[in-house]
């Protein structure tokens, strides 16, 4: 009695796309496999936020024209603007000299911060810091923290 032909072997599908090995080799990841991504408005150079990327998030960012991050709290990928409409359109991506941080220059649509502010550095506020001066350079006339002479008797900054 004739036997049926065995089912054809499954045709291997194309492997999942991966980050260019030359780029991956240059990355110095933290223990969780992540690198910091500093996001900057491309034309004004305003620093908007810091996010985290693994190899896949970086691959998606480099190949899609939109910024993708790895959410450390939700343990999932998220593309900025998919729910808020505040998208980040990639203009330039650079790796720092140590390979442990990325500078992602974008055209930001709307607020960059989930709080609704333009940058994530507005809600946190300014920290008091001693302002340093390079030897021979003119002193910065703008102090980091108001001095007592800049306060009214009630203690409010003028």
Read off the pLDDT of residues 51-66 as tens digits, 9 standing for 90 and up: 999 999 999 999 999 9
Nearest of 131, 80, 139 to residue 110 by alpha carbon: 80
Read off the pLDDT of residues 51-107 as tens digits, 9 standing for 90 and up: 999 999 999 999 999 999 999 999 999 999 999 999 999 999 999 999 999 999 999
6 occurs within a structural domain:
no
Secondary element (H or E) of residue 40: strand 35-41
The residue among 13 and 124 whose pLDDT is bigger is 124
Phi and psi at 104, nearest 5°, equal -110, 110
141 occurs within a structural domain:
no
Helices (H), the chain: 21-26, 55-64, 120-123
Average per-residue pLDDT in the chain?
84
pLDDT over 80 (residue 9): no
13 occurs within a structural domain:
no
**Per-residue pLDDT, 123:** 82
Instruction: Please enumerate, by residue number, every residue annotated as part of a binding site.
Output: 96-98, 100, 113, 120
132 occurs within a structural domain:
no
Into how many domains does the chain fold?
1
136 occurs within a structural domain:
no
Instruction: Please enumerate, by residue number, every residue annotated as part of a binding site for Zn(2+).
Output: 97, 113, 120
Confidence of residue 132 (pLDDT cuts 50, 70, 90): very high
Answer for the pair 92, 76: CB distance below 8 angstroms, yes or no.
no
Using DSSP's 3-state secondary structure scheme, residue 108 falls into: strand
Using DSSP's 3-state secondary structure scheme, residue 105 falls into: strand
**Per-residue pLDDT, 148:** 46
Which two three-digit tokens encode residue 136?
Answer: 């021979």
Query: How many of the other CB atoms lie within 10 Å of CB of 13?
Result: 6
**Per-residue pLDDT, 25:** 87
**Per-residue pLDDT, 13:** 57
106 occurs within a structural domain:
yes
Mean pLDDT of the region 113-126? 91
How far does CA 90 lie from the centroid of its chain? Answer: 11
72 occurs within a structural domain:
yes
Question: For position 59, which CATH number holds?
Answer: 3.10.20.810
Phi and psi at 19, nearest 5°, equal -65, 140
Domain extent at residue 112:
21-124
Instruction: Please enumerate, by residue number, every residue annotated as part of a binding site for Mg(2+).
Output: 96, 98, 100
103 occurs within a structural domain:
yes
Q: Tokens 């054809």 sit at which residue?
A: 8
């Amino acid at each position: 009695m004739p036997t049926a032909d065995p089912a054809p072997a499954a045709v291997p599908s194309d492997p999942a796309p991966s980050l260019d090995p030359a780029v991956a080799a240059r990355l110095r990841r933290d223990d969780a496999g992540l690198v910091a991504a500093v996001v900057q408005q491309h034309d004004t150079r305003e620093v908007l936020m810091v996010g985290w990327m693994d190899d896949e998030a970086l691959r998606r960012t480099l190949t899609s024209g939109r910024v993708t991050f790895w959410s450390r709290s939700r343990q999932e990928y998220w593309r900025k603007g998919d729910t808020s409409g505040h998208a980040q359109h990639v203009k330039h991506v650079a790796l720092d000299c140590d390979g442990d941080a990325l500078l992602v220059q974008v055209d930001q649509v709307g607020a960059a911060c989930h709080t609704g502010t333009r940058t994530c550095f507005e809600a946190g506020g300014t920290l008091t810091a001693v302002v340093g001066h390079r030897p021979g350079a003119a002193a910065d006339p703008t102090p980091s923290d108001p001095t007592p002479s800049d306060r009214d008797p009630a203690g409010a900054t003028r």
